[in-house]
Amino acid sequence: MIMPLNIPTEYIQGFLKSGQPFWRAMVRQETNGDPLDPMHTTVQPPEALVDPMALIDAYSAYWPQLASVWTRTLASTMGAESEPVIAPKRSDRRFLAEDWRKNAWYCLLKQNYLLNARLLEDVIDAVILSEKDKRKLEFFARQLIDSLSPANFVATNPEALRLVFESSGDSLRDGFTNLLGDLQRGNISITDETAYEVGRNVAASQGTVVFENDLFQLIQYAPLTDKVAKRPLLIMPPCINKYYILDLQPENSFVRFACEQGMTVFMVSWRNPDAAMAQTTWDDYAEQGALAAIDVALAITRADRVNAVGWCVGGTILSSAAAISRARGDDKLASITLLTTMLDFDEPGELGVFIDEAGVAQREGAIGRGGIYSGKELGFTFQTLRANDLIWPYVIDNYLKGKSPPAFDLLYWNADSTNLPGPMYTWYLRNMYLENNLCKPGRLTVCGTPVDLGRIDTPAYVLATEEDHIVPWRSAYRSTQLVGGPTQFVLGASGHIAGVVNPASKNKRSFKASGDSTGDPDAWLASAETRPGSWWNHWIEWLKPYAGESVNARKKPGSAIHKPVEPAPGRYVQVRAA
């Protein structure tokens, strides 16, 4: 029996009306191109050759398997039991419902989809292209394959279809409501954003803003021990995200962990760029950002040197500043820690696939001399790199099933995007991703000083993560060969975020350390020791010899010169990207 669907006409009309700006934008992008779209390129697709034997092998494997899928499906309808011809990967969560295994129709849909996906992948493998063009083709093919999953459509998703009938259509109505809201916001909801508030239950560690300029605020956190190390710990997060990924909840806060270990912790909170920052450059981030933060931390603590931590782009900015500082004759760093950071961009991971001369030149012409690059666009690009984790599950739950996404602090942070100044962003694209200049001594001049990473002669702790698709671990490993001081390379489990935010209190996962340090990442991997638990404990033991003597913890934040500005987390982190 088919139940009536309670979907009022005004919901459909509202959906079409709210979607008009979105569809017009899509049409403009298709016809004119968007120079700010990181996946846009003006280069025509290259002519490709195909390896005929590889193509024959692909189809020779496909047709017998397809026939076997149908014959086994027919047999199952008559009560016979058989193993599936093809099964999803263990990490694939799209087909976990029992219907995908026990219902012959859905099992047939699933296996047909997986088999056709494998065929398309094999056909692409048979195409003869340059490595970069091949990777670009693989990426877009993966987007197509992921989008065509039967789990993404109401009529072919058993869970969504069952909800439609059980709720008399209410699930679809709620799904339309969710879609309307997301169209108006311009992004897919991936968490319950009402569950968190910056300064209340995320970014809530007690501290004080003790300095600010047009680029950043500096937070000094309250000590959690009676005695602290003389030398402060300065953390420089990426400027493409908010700093509080390192201060989410008390139980997974890197900030709190460092304070509990007797460190005086300072955090750079980058300003979310608006029109007033349209002319800001990479030089500004190095001089007025990293170097200024180091000077303030030293002035407040009266220490001789600072221990500095940089994550991702924050680590790249920090390394640039450290090389400049040493070239000027300064010795302000006791140690440097680089978390999933690239200094050599020769193998830049999946993001590098979309960066070419034509695309960079186009962005330089549009915003390179002044402008703002939207954080929401950049955030969507990162989502597409893991569409089956960060896009399609929310399309299914939000729109097909009419559910609201659950509260998750990490995803709340992920949705809290930041803009980038056009001049800084385009300079970064050209000199890092496109031309890979930073790792070449003297090739770049930053703040009027030639940059040579080999001048960084302080001890360096370099952390990479095994499944990082943004900073491949072998690329991160090359940093150990670029800096001039002694290095400790550590390879954590998981990816770019979860591999870093691995709280010592939970002591989950594992990491590798103490491998061959002769310069070959694979030789290092083969000889490294696997150790259980969080890398945080390993890092703090490495850091302690560079932390200085133990002194009484400071009862008041700031100093006579650098007086408290406002309580943490400060104003800058509260600004949302438009």
CB 559 within 8 A of CB 565: no
3-class DSSP assignment, residue 215: coil
Q: Is the pLDDT at 382 greater than 90, yes or no? A: no
Q: Is the pLDDT at 24 greater than 50, yes or no? A: no
The per-residue DSSP string of 92-111 comes to --TT-STHHHHSHHHHHHHH
Q: What is the pLDDT of residues 457-495, one digit of tens each?
A: 999 999 999 999 999 999 999 999 999 999 999 999 999
CA distance 195 to 569: 18
The pLDDT value recorded for residue 48 is 59
Q: Is the pLDDT at 344 greater than 70, yes or no? A: yes
The per-residue DSSP string of 114-181 comes to HHHHHHHHHHHHHEE--HHHHHHHHHHHHHHHHHT-GGGSGGG-HHHHHHHHHTTTHHHHHHHHHHHH
Token pair in block for residue 297: 């931390």
Give me the sign of the Cα torsion angle 195, 197, 202, 206.
negative
216: in domain: yes
Q: Is 164 left (phi over 0), alpha (psi -120 to 50) or beta?
A: alpha
Percent of the chain with pLDDT over 90: 78
Q: What separation in angstroms does the CA of 200 have from each of 248, 249, 250, 407, 495?
A: 10, 10, 12, 15, 27
Range of the domain at 359: 207-374+409-574
CB 506 within 8 A of CB 254: no
Q: What separation in angstroms does the CA of 66 have from each of 72, 145, 564?
A: 10, 18, 69
The pLDDT value recorded for residue 7 is 40
184: in domain: no
Q: Is the pLDDT at 36 greater than 90, yes or no? A: no
Q: What is the pLDDT of residues 498-529, one digit of tens each?
A: 999 999 988 889 999 999 988 899 999 999 99
Q: What separation in angstroms does the CA of 576 have from each of 21, 158, 313, 418, 560?
A: 22, 38, 20, 7, 32
561: in domain: yes
CA distance 204 to 198: 7
CATH code for the domain of 514: 3.40.50.1820
Q: What is the pLDDT of residues 229-261, one digit of tens each?
A: 999 999 999 999 999 999 999 999 999 999 999
Provide the residue type at 18 as one letter.
S
**What are the backbone dihedrals phi and psi of residue 420, each rounded to the nearest 5 degrees, phi first?**
-135, 145
CB 192 within 8 A of CB 404: yes
Q: Is the pLDDT at 98 greater than 60, yes or no? A: yes
Span 114-122, average pLDDT: 95
Residue-averaged pLDDT of the chain = 90
Span 348-372, average pLDDT: 91
Give me the sign of the Cα torsion angle 400, 402, 404, 406.
negative
167: in domain: no
DSSP strands (E only) in 237-312: 265-270, 306-311
For tokens 């949705």, what's the residue? 415
| Size of the chain in residues | 578
Which range is most confident: 73-87, 135-149, 178-192, 270-284? 270-284
CA distance 265 to 193: 28
| Secondary structure letter of residue 241 according to DSSP | B
Give the model's confidence band at 297: pLDDT under 50 very low, under 70 low, under 90 confident, else very high: very high
The pLDDT value recorded for residue 525 is 96
The pLDDT value recorded for residue 338 is 98
Provide the residue type at 19 as one letter.
G
For tokens 């969080």, what's the residue? 534
Give the model's confidence band at 496: pLDDT under 50 very low, under 70 low, under 90 confident, else very high: very high
Q: How many whole angstroms from its chain centre is CA 82?
A: 41
Span 52-68, average pLDDT: 93
By C-alpha distance, which of 51, 94, 137, 142 is closest to 400? 94
Span 134-141, average pLDDT: 88
CB 206 within 8 A of CB 568: yes
By C-alpha distance, which of 489, 480, 398, 406 is closest to 185? 398
CA distance 212 to 563: 10
Count of domains forming the chain: 1
Give me the sign of the Cα torsion angle 320, 323, 327, 331.
positive
Token pair in block for residue 34: 């968007």
The pLDDT value recorded for residue 19 is 44
**What are the backbone dihedrals phi and psi of residue 159, each rounded to the nearest 5 degrees, phi first?**
-70, -45
CB 277 within 8 A of CB 285: no
Higher per-residue pLDDT: 7 or 440: 440
Helix (DSSP H) and strand (DSSP E) numbers for the chain: 21, 19
Q: What is the pLDDT of residues 419-460, one digit of tens each?
A: 999 999 999 999 999 999 999 999 999 999 999 999 999 999
CA distance 345 to 234: 25
If one counts every other C-beta atom within 10 angstroms of the C-beta of residue 434, the result is 19
CB 11 within 8 A of CB 178: no
396: in domain: no
The CA angle 391-396-399, to the nearest 5 degrees, is 105
Q: Among all residues, which ones are annotated catalytic?
A: 312
Span 536-542, average pLDDT: 98
pTM of the model: 0.88
Q: How many whole angstroms from its chain centre is CA 396?
A: 22
155: in domain: no
What interhelical angle do 104-126 and 131-147 show, nearest 10? 170
507: in domain: yes
The pLDDT value recorded for residue 351 is 82
Q: What is the pLDDT of residues 397-413, one digit of tens each?
A: 999 999 999 999 999 99
CA distance 361 to 433: 13
Higher per-residue pLDDT: 223 or 386: 223
386: in domain: no
The pLDDT value recorded for residue 161 is 95
Q: Is the pLDDT at 29 greater than 70, yes or no? A: no
